[in-house]
Amino acid sequence: MHDASSSNPHLFVIFGVTGDLAQRKLLPAFYHVTQQEGCEADAFLLGVGRRSWSDAEFRQRAKDALGAAGIGTPEGNGWCNEHVFFHGVDDYESDESFAGLRARIEQIEREHHLPKNRIYYLALPPETFESTVTGLGESGLAHSEGWTRLVVEKPFGKDLETARELDQLIHRHFHEDQVYRIDHYLGKTTVQNLLVFRFGNGMFEPLWNRDRISRVEITVGEDLGVGSRGGYYDTAGALRDMVQNHIIQLLSLVAMEPPTAFEAEAIRSEKVKVVRSITSIVHHDVVLGQYADGSIDGEPVQGYLSEPRVAPDSQTETYAALRLHVDTWRWHGIPFYVRTGKRLPARTTKVAIVFRDAPLPLFRAFKDHPVPNVLVISIQPDEGFDLFFEVKTPDRDFRLDTKRLTFRYQDQFGRIPEAYETLVADIVAGDQTLFVHRDEVEASWKLLTPLLKHKPPVAPYEAGTWGPKEIYDLLPDWVDFCLREPAEADEGGSA
């Protein structure tokens, strides 16, 4: 939300900088943020990892990472040479590691006249969070004469109990206003636009309730499988990996009441009320699945059980569909259907708002299956929205067809910043609006923990399909047509 454009000298310390997240997302995002006017000279990056690389070796890797993100320019290379450093540690536990790190941080700050403004970004495997937070606290790195911020990646715990433990540990060393819990979905322009769409336009809010809406569907589909993350994923599954965080955040933004101000506290307190209003989840409202062999875009893909580092008899869900009930004045009786899965036919994230039918079925004689008005907010990859509605065709026979009004970010604005770019800029600027408050984390774990402790069995689904057939028992008429792009969907003449 912030452009971080005023000079804000600091040292950005990435723990786990040799990992995939840091290389693919954080380095390019940080570079983009530092290139905003006024920031170029003041932002320095210290990568921390369990390697014995020199600064020069790491700088080469940073250049490669920028290159892979399409920003391998002479300016980018020059920036790496002057603003990027590496510090190797043996582990994330010992006092020596943190004493050495502290000395290195202070040395860089001295040499570059930095005012001890520090960001610690934990891009680490969850099992090292605890020792790293403790190490930062006990070595005196949690506070400084400038400002100090701690950024924690998901997963934030693996259930209510572990999330609370992690939270207590963090608060032993850091204040809540220093803590930035990342849910990268909140950095997506289209996710933030949910607020603008709802509260910045007078025409939608009067329709946004149980009187005009019959149901809401949220789909987060991925065509990729678990790839090289089988070890982590097999202990997490779709409920922990996607529902507890990303999907609950999307749902909160769709269902929340208007905040009293466009400020972090006001927005987060409305979101958390939504999560607390969701009634307990019963098995009857849940379908879990696991992908079996299949094909995507004509290419054969292997099933989950054949993925590296997945237990051969794993019961971990790679798909979850749930019917949720947000029991508030606005939404009582209106189901929220959410579904997410890996190895589906396409990568697509959509929110479909399904409106009630017109009260009089005047035109039933002209169309057997009238389609309700649906507003589809497309979070990715075709960012924008579509409103589906009925029109009379120009034919001499009186006929109806479903057509769409379409808005695409790409057509209007060109490049959309990466979610991590927005979030890094906000961390630098000290804006917590797009970060998850401890209460939100706790509320969503409270909702999901009973289900995680007693999960229904997983049903297999063929890779390259939209999930197990049981999801049609949950809801027979998912608005699947909205998952296709306008060009494909309109080919047959109707949506």
Which are the catalytic amino acids?
A: 246
- Min dist. Cβ of residue 60 to ligand BG6 (A): 27
CB-based contact 460:292 (threshold 8 Å)? yes
Distance in angstroms (rounded) separating the CA atoms of residues 143 and 347 = 42
Around Cβ 406, how many Cβ atoms within 10 Å? 17
Which residue is associated with the tokens 């959410």?
338
Q: Which is nearer to ligand BG6, 101 or 425 (CB)?
A: 425
Q: At what angle do helices 74-83 and 55-68 cross, to 10 degrees?
A: 150
Q: Which is nearer to ligand BG6, 76 or 187 (CB)?
A: 187
Q: Which is nearer to ligand BG6, 80 or 239 (CB)?
A: 239
Q: Which is nearer to ligand BG6, 234 or 241 (CB)?
A: 241
Q: Which residues contact 281 (CB under 8 A, 6 or more apart)?
A: 322, 324, 447, 448, 450, 451
**Total residues in contact with ligand BG6, by rule CB under 6 A:** 2
Q: Which is nearer to ligand BG6, 117 or 252 (CB)?
A: 252
Q: Which residues contact 90 (CB under 8 A, 6 or more apart)?
A: 50, 96, 97
CB-based contact 150:178 (threshold 8 Å)? yes
Interaction pattern, residues 204-243, with ligand BG6; x per rule: CB under 6 A: ------------------x------------------x--
CB-based contact 331:255 (threshold 8 Å)? yes
Distance in angstroms (rounded) separating the CA atoms of residues 260 and 243 = 27
272 has which bridge partners? Answer: none
- Write the single-letter amino acid at 395: D
Around Cβ 217, how many Cβ atoms within 10 Å? 22
Q: Which is nearer to ligand BG6, 167 or 241 (CB)?
A: 241
- Min dist. Cβ of residue 28 to ligand BG6 (A): 14
Distance in angstroms (rounded) separating the CA atoms of residues 439 and 351 = 24
The percent of the chain in helix, strand and coil, each rounded to the nearest 5, is 40, 20, 40
Q: Which is nearer to ligand BG6, 167 or 222 (CB)?
A: 222
- Min dist. Cβ of residue 380 to ligand BG6 (A): 6
Element (H, E) at 21: helix 20-21
DSSP state of 278: B
- Min dist. Cβ of residue 152 to ligand BG6 (A): 13
Distance in angstroms (rounded) separating the CA atoms of residues 30 and 489 = 38
Distance in angstroms (rounded) separating the CA atoms of residues 259 and 265 = 9
Cβ-closest position to ligand BG6: 241
Interaction pattern, residues 238-277, with ligand BG6; x per rule: CB under 6 A: ---x------------------------------------
Report the interface residues with ligand BG6, using CB under 6 A: 222, 241
